[in-house]
Chains A and B, each alone.
Chain A
Amino acid sequence: MSEAWAIVLAVGLGTMTIKAAGPVLLGDRPLPSSVQRVVALLAPALLAALVATAAFATTQQLTLDARAAGLAVAAVAIALRAPVLLVVVLAAATAALIRLAGS
């Protein structure tokens, strides 16, 4: 419980600070271009890492289960330009059906 509140407080205050830093402190001075290039690559690097761990890890083990099938279906749906919401629903439904068939 207190751990959850620590996360809420730290992420909330941190995010507010990050969002406001430019408008409040910098005005219209730009960031150095090397910093901009690194920051621009943070989101792809972190999101891809989240894809990998959320699909193939269970605590400290690498696993291959129904989530992988859901991810494969999601990848096809994204390639076919399906809206994000449909992508997520298809992935969840795939995993749920596989588990239903396996149980």
Chain B
Amino acid sequence: MLSRMEPAPPIRFELRRGAVTALPLAVAVGLFGVSFGVLSASSGGMGALPAIVMSASTFAGSAQFAAASIVAGGGGAPAAIAAALLLNTRYLPIGVSVARFLPGGRLRRFAGAQLVVDESWAIASRGEGRFDPHRLVGAGVVLWLAWVGGTIAGVLGGEALGDPAALGLDAAFPALFLALVAPQLGSRPAIVAALLGAAIALALVPFTPPGVPIIAAASAALIGLVRR
């Protein structure tokens, strides 16, 4: 075998390094995939097959949970779509940050960009704004397999679980969102935006259809325009 005679080429080394680094995270991501599958397959959810297709194509946990939570709360499709996409707008600057490190033509760059999630982006970071594209691909593929595989397992096992409220699954949503937002509250503008967003949403709940309060809360981000 050639590969045994030669030293591992750097590309394959970085691919494997990305994949191995992602493995512990993949366990957690897989379990979140299970819970997304369970919630989607339970009554009032969006259904088994849509959940699996969504995990495979969207591949963004917090946006998928946001859409699922709005659907489960009785909100309509437009609100669920808007909230999920607004939440994913953070991939615009994240995508820009890796853009010049992705090799190949437009099609290959498009494919590589799909493997960018918060975790694979963090793993691919080499500091000082530089990124390793092969580490990104290795980590991204492992996390994608865990997310989609977990969703399938949750969909298959979820029907056997029974009433999600009795298991406290509805209380898992706010806890998950709190755990996701906590590490982002490192600056004063972020804390103000979060408090303002929560206040706007709660103030609107009695007066608007479910889902609308979340979208309106996005306007809290406009405080980023305030000069300090």
Contacts and interface: CB of A to CB of B under 8 A. Distances in A.
Interface string A61-86: 11000110111011100100001110
A86 to B, nearest CB: 9
B156 interface: no
Given A11-B67, A53-B205, A41 B173 contact: no
Given A49-B214, A96-B167, A19 B174 contact: no
Contacts of A56: 202, 205
B145 interface: no
Nearest to B73: A59
B137 interface: no
Nearest to A14: B85
B172 A91 contact: yes
Contact of B93 (A1, A40, A46, A51): A40
Given A22-B99, A42-B87, A59-B74, A49 B172 contact: no
Given A19-B113, A31-B96, A60-B206, A41 B171 contact: no
Given A61-B205, A93-B168, A95-B170, A37 B195 contact: no
Nearest to B46: A4
Contacts, number: 329
Contacts of B206: 60-62
Contacts of A101: none
Contacts of B66: 46, 50
B178 A75 contact: yes
The 9 closest A-B pairs by CB, nearest first: A70-B171, A22-B95, A91-B175, A45-B197, A49-B217, A95-B171, A37-B224, A96-B168, A95-B168
Interface of A: 1, 3-8, 10-16, 18-24, 26-31, 34, 36-62, 66-67, 69-71, 73-75, 78, 83-85, 87-97, 99-100
Given A11-B54, A90-B175, 18 more contacts: A3-B76, A12-B57, A19-B114, A22-B94, A26-B99, A28-B100, A40-B93, A43-B62, A44-B194, A46-B83, A48-B197, A51-B181, A83-B28, A85-B32, A87-B175, A94-B171, A95-B170, A97-B168
